[in-house]
Amino acid sequence: MAEVLVFHHGHGLTTGVREFAGQLRRAGHTVHTPDLFDGRIFDSLTEGIGYAESVGFGTIIARGAAAAEGLPAELVYLGFSLGALPAQKLAQTRPGAKGALLLEACVPVSEFGGAWPQDVPVQIHGMDADPFFAGEGDVDAARVLVEMAADAELFLYPGDKHLFADSSLPSHDEHAATQATHRVLGFLDRIK
């Protein structure tokens, strides 16, 4: 079974993120869910991103790296939206990474050194009309990553919702979330 470090999105460590992590635990995986917002949960994504901007995205990424300290190197990093930043950075740069699961966000690999480690598999999930994922270039970065990585998959779901996999938010899409969860569990099951 895999050991997974899950990073939350811009609303904070919501009930929905905890429930998603719980599904992975029930499947037998060891899951860690650090709080990058020091206990803050925001009702709106705008407020949460405002908080992240006020402390600095570099600080959020550093908090993610600090959460990995003391854990085994052989982790799978999973990030929801904003949480994809520390997940992607750690998967790209921390030796021993076993995989990356990027939900609703992906940045160009040049942000964290310019190359994707060939022994690190990656899955990327997003909605095809999500104004953030599809409209702000994340899907383009994801396509480039899929082309350069030895083991990479991009899953696009029909719809325009951001944070579709978080069951505690109005943007939750049950059908897409179920598909994504099934694919994430399949990914984790093949990690050795």
Give residue-wise pLDDT tens across range 86-118: 999 999 999 999 999 999 999 999 999 878 999
Whichever domain contains 27, its CATH number is 3.40.50.1820
Strand ranges of the sheet holding 76-80, from the earlier edge strand across to the other edge: 30-32, 3-7, 76-80, 99-103, 122-127, 152-157
- Which domain range does residue 90 map to? 3-189
Q: Look at residue 5 in the predicted model and tell me its pLDDT.
A: 98
pLDDT at 192 over 80: no
Please say whether the beta carbons of 97 and 125 come within 8 A: no
For 53, the token pair is: 């901007």
Centre a 10 Å sphere on the Cβ of residue 170 and count the other Cβ atoms it contains. Answer: 7
In this predicted model, what pLDDT tens digit does every residue of 32-76 receive, in sequence order? Answer: 999 999 999 999 999 999 999 999 999 999 999 999 999 999 999
38 contact partners, CB below 8 Å, separation of at least 6: none
pTM, whole model, 2 decimals? Answer: 0.97
151, with CB counted inside 10 A (0-12, 13-18, 19+), is: middle
Q: Give me the chain's average pLDDT, please.
A: 97
For 32, the token pair is: 């860690």
State the total domains in the chain. Answer: 1
